[in-house]
Amino acid sequence: MTEKRRPRIGLIAGGLGAYWPQFPDLLPTLRESSRYVSERIKGYDAEIVDVGFISDEREGAKAAEKLRESGCDLIVGFLTTYLTATMLMPVAQRSGAPVLLINLQPTESMDHATFDTGQWLAYCGACPLPEMANAFTRAGIDFRSVSGYLRDERAWARIGAWIRAAGVRKALRHGRHGLMGHLYPGMYDVSTDLAMVNAHFGGHVEVLEFDDLRVRVEGVTESEVDDRVAEASEIFEVTESVDQEDFAWGAKVSVGLDRLVADFDLDSIAYYHRGLNGEQHERLGAGMILGASMLTARGVPAAGEYELRTSLAMLIMDVLGAGGSFTEFQALDFTRGHVEMGHDGPAHLAISAKKPLLRGLGVFHGKRGWGVSVEFDVATGPVTLLGVGQTRDGRYTLVAAEGVVADGPHMRIGNTTSRVDFGRDPGEWTDDWSASGVGHHWALGTGHRVAELKAVASLLGVELITVT
């Protein structure tokens, strides 16, 4: 994960100081548990700000200030034994970051026959959890927790989901998203209020002109084009349908696009230009597919048709390690029970079943222009769809569904394609998905990710709609 997306996790552990003189062996045991938790969190490719162990509300207030100054993306409060709500409330109230409370006792269960009170108290992290939940709820603070034991991999899988969600939150809050060209005419669902992107996710939307790309493409040298053609020829299987002049043009646009992304420090980009009669901006728009796919594979999602909210969904999936490719419905296969989906244009090469193809197209359906397009079948196995929807009152939602990519016939028309089995009638599933409020584009990524997306939605403060 890049430093820009590496989450900063605050860690604070605590217990009631009144216990220490009563049970001298208790605090060393709890501190050792806290050290283990700190090392495990570092293992999730996270930067950790460990403010140590607190024993009363004054130490809690001091720790809260340290965490506030650190600018954390998520704070983990480790309930090692009983402690009062007054010790952690300042952290939740002042830090400006969401708080995850974890209750991880030393082992699966106590040795009841031999344990004394001090040994039992090391297993008592569950005791303050309802108190924290009640206090947080009454204070209007979102509450989330994970309970288990120190080496409980099920619990750590849940904690890991929260840490990865914090990485998504950071990527969005600090993200810079390019929006180049203009809205595809007629697509009401694609139209996006830029203020709402910032209001829901944070970050910045940089409005770009195709001229910003044009001047950079004009500066690309022949040797740079040759190098990009050679690089693309290693990545893709270049079919006989590819015109070499069109290939060179796509490579030249690709180099210029890389410069555009670097100059504006972009984390994602969405674009569209209609054009007319092969004029220069039309040729730029038609030449985007190669470079946009290569960018997406490097973790900078690129989406056509001015689909800003889908490029954001692609970014979320990419930060979660799922890939995330630009997708829409293509057809329903009632014979096999599959929903066929994919898209022309840029795609995430990491989720291809095999070496992706470059196919030459004399026409891009529904769009003007011609050139090289990317074609592949998504690898079989579990997948998740993610779209960013919007309600009538303007609120953003995340819309997700889990399925399985299955084998079957595919069109060979320069599109990415996949056959997804949702375990039910494809027509009924399609009706439910369409009724969710999602737009007609979304991101498709590998793995079943709804558990992680629940954590993402919680940290972003948006609703997750799951279509089952």
Assess if residue 259 is contained within a domain: yes
Last residue of a domain, one of 148, 173, 198: 173
The tens digit of pLDDT for each residue in 275-300 reads: 888 889 989 998 999 999 999 999 99
For residues 230 and 208, is the Cβ–Cβ distance under 8 A?
no
Shared-domain flag, residues 183 and 165: no
Predicted confidence at residue 247, as pLDDT, reads: 95
For residues 419 and 408, is the Cβ–Cβ distance under 8 A?
yes
* Helix, strand and coil in the chain, % to nearest 5: 40, 25, 35
Shared-domain flag, residues 151 and 200: no
Considering Cα of 159, then 162, then 164, then 170, what sign does the dihedral take? negative
Shared-domain flag, residues 193 and 213: yes
* Domain span holding position 32: 8-173
Shared-domain flag, residues 41 and 135: yes
Whole-model pTM? 0.94
Residue 201 belongs to domain with CATH number: 3.20.14
For residues 390 and 402, is the Cβ–Cβ distance under 8 A?
no
Total number of domains constituting the chain: 2
Residue 53 belongs to domain with CATH number: 3.40.50.10940
* C-alpha distances in Å from residue 402, one per residue of 223, 275, 294, 433, 451: 45, 37, 26, 11, 10
For residues 72 and 170, is the Cβ–Cβ distance under 8 A?
no
The tens digit of pLDDT for each residue in 206-231 reads: 999 999 999 999 999 999 999 999 99
The tens digit of pLDDT for each residue in 233-290 reads: 999 999 999 999 999 999 999 999 999 999 999 999 999 998 888 889 989 998 999 9
Last residue of a domain, one of 173, 196, 229: 173
For residues 415 and 293, is the Cβ–Cβ distance under 8 A?
no
User: How many CA atoms lie less than 13 Å away from 181 in the CB half-sphere?
Assistant: 25
CB atoms within 10 A of CB 266: 23
Q: How confident is the model at residue 366 (pLDDT cuts 50, 70, 90)?
A: low
| Closest listed residue to residue 106, CA positions, set 155, 60, 54 | 155
Predicted confidence at residue 350, as pLDDT, reads: 86
Shared-domain flag, residues 333 and 361: yes
Shared-domain flag, residues 232 and 312: yes
Shared-domain flag, residues 279 and 421: yes
Last residue of a domain, one of 150, 173, 196: 173
pLDDT of residue 103 exceeding 80, the answer is: yes
Calpha distance 167→74 (Å, rounded): 9
